[in-house]
Structure 1
Amino acid sequence: MSGPVRSAPSAWRVVWWFGFVSLAADMVYEGARSVYGPVLAALGASAVVVGLVTGAGEAVALVMRLAFGPIADRTGRYWSLTILGYGLTAVCVPLLALAPRLGAAGLAFATTMILLERLGKAIRSPSKSALLAHVATAVGRGRGFGVHKALDQVGAFAGPLVVAGVVAVASLWWGMAVLAVPGAVAMVLLLTLRRRVPDPSAYDDSPTPATQQQPAEHPADRRGWWAEVVGAGLPADFFRYAVAASLTTGALVTFGIIGYHLTVDGLLPVAAVPVVYAAAMAVEAVAALAVGSVFDRTGPRVLLLVPVLVALVPALALGSALVAVLAGVVAWGVAQGVQDSTVKAVVADLVEAPRRATAYGVFAGVQGLFAIVGGVTAGWLYERSVPALVAVVALTQVVALALLADTFRRSALRR
């Protein structure tokens, strides 16, 4: 099929619809993530548990893409996986409101809901990106994905503010329950879009429709498929860079720990924590655009700033002075924004086009493994010695800085 049928919506309209789905869904999970620290603390969690849960959540969202990307490609069930992934987010986050009613089981229930929500992210992300890529071809993939990301960030900013308002006038748990509303909106939009645009490949010249099921893999090919999953044959410079970038990911203290610190140390009321998170989301969006622009003009050496920022975060954000803590949150937002955008651009310079999808999957997997180790370590050290946590993070970032500089030197990466 070479073009959309006459009754189908325009490509731009579909891009915007995808963007509004992400906006509503981001309100749900970013609104919840803004208070995961206080939520878990209210259920009796220690800093170690907060670090473990939030770190494991990030690991699930990254590592499991190694499985669900190939599953989507092999089955062709892009829409089904997208709907399942968003459905987990829409259902699991509001269910957190039930946790305090479950007594001793409340913490385990909340942990399960948080991890299932992050699993939903892993399930839907590869499939949603594949669907959107088809449609964005008709409007320019850069502009299409850019509009989608902008709407995504609007949700990431608005969700925490909604939670802050509800927590201020009601309670933390009503703040979770109210997120059922944008969750329902996201699902209605998504199901409507699925009905109106069953085959997004109609918007480009792809020879294989996005909804077409692929033939089952022959047993003889299984070894090759697993080799692809673990990145066999990718350049050594890629793996060196993946480790360096993952050291910054793993050492970046999660906002769950920061929110826990703000609440337990009495630096801010619970209702103010999601406002701080919303501000961090705004900083993240600006940083992603600004550093991305500098990267295009000057090359990857701008990324040598990331380990410096990551090292500053615990030194500032886990202190006792509110001004320093807020400065640390700004550093966290900048580092997060660069890691979610520009850091990934270097992969395209290190790996040839036919292997880039595999490379990005491996890259996310390595980041996920470092994220869970970093989350547990940060929580454990926070309870024992914040100066020790600061020192350990700084040491890992010296290693990351050296690896990044060596990778850029060996690869002669430049613009």
Structure 2
Amino acid sequence: MAIRGRSVAAGGLVVVLLFGVVSLLGDMSYEGFRSALPVLVPGGLELSGVAGLGEVVAWSLRPVTGLLADRLGAYWGFTVLGYSLIPLGILIASQGGPMIALGYGVERLGKALRSPSRDALLGGVAGRRRGLVFGLHEAMDQVGAVAGPMIAYTVFSRGLGLWLLAVPGLFTVPVLLLARRLCPSRAQPRPKKTGLRDALRGGWRASLYVVAAGTLAASPLAVEHVARVLGGVAAGSAPLLYAAAMLSDAVAAVPLGLLYDHWPRTAAAIPVALGVAAGAAVLIAGGSTAGALLAALLSGVAEAGFETVARAMVRGGAAGYGLYGLARGIAAAGSIALYSGIASLVAG
């Protein structure tokens, strides 16, 4: 796919689309599972423990799994293993009781295993159209992120089993194997025997950008929480704000990716500006439904930028993407802490 002399690696566009399908299917399963946690774990303290521990696993282990993938050259192996843990984790959780926490931990471990290697593979295919490739992948990923909670709602409203959420995830591995077969050999990353500092060097710029900008920008979860604190949305309707943010994320991802390929600095500035605007909107007008919705839409565009522009900024192998993933986790926690604290002061 050629645009102004810059191209995705020959034969790679189909592989990019297949990776998008994989992420779409995976998100249908695990985002549905995550959205169901408040139903499965009704106690607030218990829910915080299960969700918090799972997120620590998902974010903190990424530099380690990325470095291992680089050393072993096992990019496809880590990716396939990571996606296979999605349905396994859900099936474990479907047993109920303490198995819910174990199943969620297994699924989050899969996230830590697959994400750095998958992004390294996408980066190899992207050629010089990194913004376009990561934007297209993010857009397809977010379609699954919106569909997953809707599937979960249908499953629970009809009294069906949690195990049904594992079904889309079961198809991720066959699609991945097809992508591996079609992926041009010259586009695949090679093993890297460099030291830790050199291995992480490719991701430090993107990581610093994400930590600083992502903390200042109001994330979709931060907007949802602040809107609830200020009374702009009822607790039962709060997930609709998150869904709105995911929709705007999906719509904005490709345009932001294309912008990055031509004007990278402008593309990097937009998520920060819109994320801060989202925070201001929800703090000033979050007591109204319209203000909360506007903030959610703006936060979704900012999220698309961090998932598209920042990933396109990473150079090198899976270790760089692992460092970026850790930075995303830190920024997400920082954003929620920052805007929740301000909202508490505003609410008095």
> Does the alignment reach a TM-score above 0.5?
yes
Distance 1:228 1:275, change over 3 A: same
Show the counterpart of 2:112. Answer: 122
Distance 2:83 2:118 in 1: 10
Show the counterpart of 2:344. Answer: 387
Show the counterpart of 2:29. Answer: 28
Report deviation, 1:340: 2.0
Show the counterpart of 1:247. Answer: 215
Show the counterpart of 1:408. Answer: none
Partner amino acid for 1:162? I
Q: 2:327 aligns with which of 362, 366, 381?
A: 366
Task: Indicate the larger mover: 177-186 or 226-235.
Answer: 226-235
Show the counterpart of 2:86. Answer: 89
Distance 1:331 1:160 in 2: 21
Distance 1:333 1:50 in 2: 25
Gapped runs of 5+ residues in structure 1? 1-9, 218-223, 392-415
Partner amino acid for 1:245? A
Distance 1:389 1:52 in 2: 28
Show the counterpart of 1:184. Answer: 170
1:320-366 Cα offsets, whole Å, 9 max, x none, are: x5555444433432332233223556x56xxxx6x797665434333
Distance 1:115 1:324, change over 3 A: farther
**Paired residues of 1:61 and 1:121 also in contact (CA < 8 A):** yes
Distance 1:254 1:93, change over 3 A: farther
Distance 1:290 1:11 in 2: 20
Q: Secondary structure at the match of 2:153?
A: helix
Distance 1:362 1:114, change over 3 A: same
Q: 2:155 aligns with which of 148, 159, 166?
A: 166
Show the counterpart of 2:3. Answer: none
Q: 1:335 aligns with which of 302, 312, 318?
A: 302
Aligned-residue CA RMSD (Å): 4.4
Q: How does 1:312-327 map to 2 (within 5 A)?
A: 312-313=281-282, 319=287, 322-327=289-294
Q: How does 1:14-413 map to 2 (within 5 A)?
A: 14-36=15-37, 38-39=38-39, 42-46=41-45, 50=47, 54=51, 57-99=54-96, 102=97, 105=98, 109-137=99-127, 144-170=133-159, 174=161, 176-194=162-180, 196-197=181-182, 200-202=183-185, 204=186, 214=191, 225-228=195-198, 241-248=209-216, 252=219, 254=221, 258=225, 267=234, 269=236, 276-291=241-256, 299=266, 300-302=268-270, 303-313=272-282, 319=287, 322-343=289-310, 347=313, 361-372=322-333, 377=337, 387-388=344-345
Distance 1:278 1:390, change over 3 A: same
Distance 2:304 2:203 in 1: 30
Normalised to the residue count of structure 2, the TM-score between the two structures is 0.73
Report deviation, 1:124: 0.7
Q: Secondary structure at the match of 2:195?
A: helix
**Paired residues of 2:119 and 2:321 also in contact (CA < 8 A):** no
**Paired residues of 1:90 and 1:183 also in contact (CA < 8 A):** yes
Q: Secondary structure at the match of 2:111?
A: helix
Partner amino acid for 1:168? S
Distance 1:96 1:256, change over 3 A: farther
Distance 2:325 2:28 in 1: 23
Partner amino acid for 2:303? Q
**Paired residues of 2:24 and 2:144 also in contact (CA < 8 A):** yes
Distance 1:95 1:82, change over 3 A: same
Report deviation, 1:309: 1.7
Distance 1:112 1:374 in 2: 27
Distance 1:112 1:322, change over 3 A: farther
Partner amino acid for 1:310? G
Distance 1:260 1:254, change over 3 A: same
Normalised to the residue count of structure 1, the TM-score between the two structures is 0.63
Show the counterpart of 1:398. Answer: none
Partner amino acid for 2:103? M
1:375-404 Cα offsets, whole Å, 9 max, x none, are: 6x589x68xx9523879xxxxxxxxxxxxx
Distance 1:90 1:24 in 2: 11
Q: Secondary structure at the match of 1:340?
A: helix
Gapped runs of 5+ residues in structure 2? 1-10
Q: Secondary structure at the match of 1:18?
A: helix
Number of aligned residue pairs: give it: 333
Q: Secondary structure at the match of 1:43?
A: coil
Distance 1:143 1:232 in 2: 19
Distance 1:243 1:169, change over 3 A: closer
**Paired residues of 2:24 and 2:143 also in contact (CA < 8 A):** yes
Report deviation, 1:89: 1.6
Q: Percent of aligned positions with the same letter in both sequences?
A: 32
Distance 1:96 1:273, change over 3 A: farther
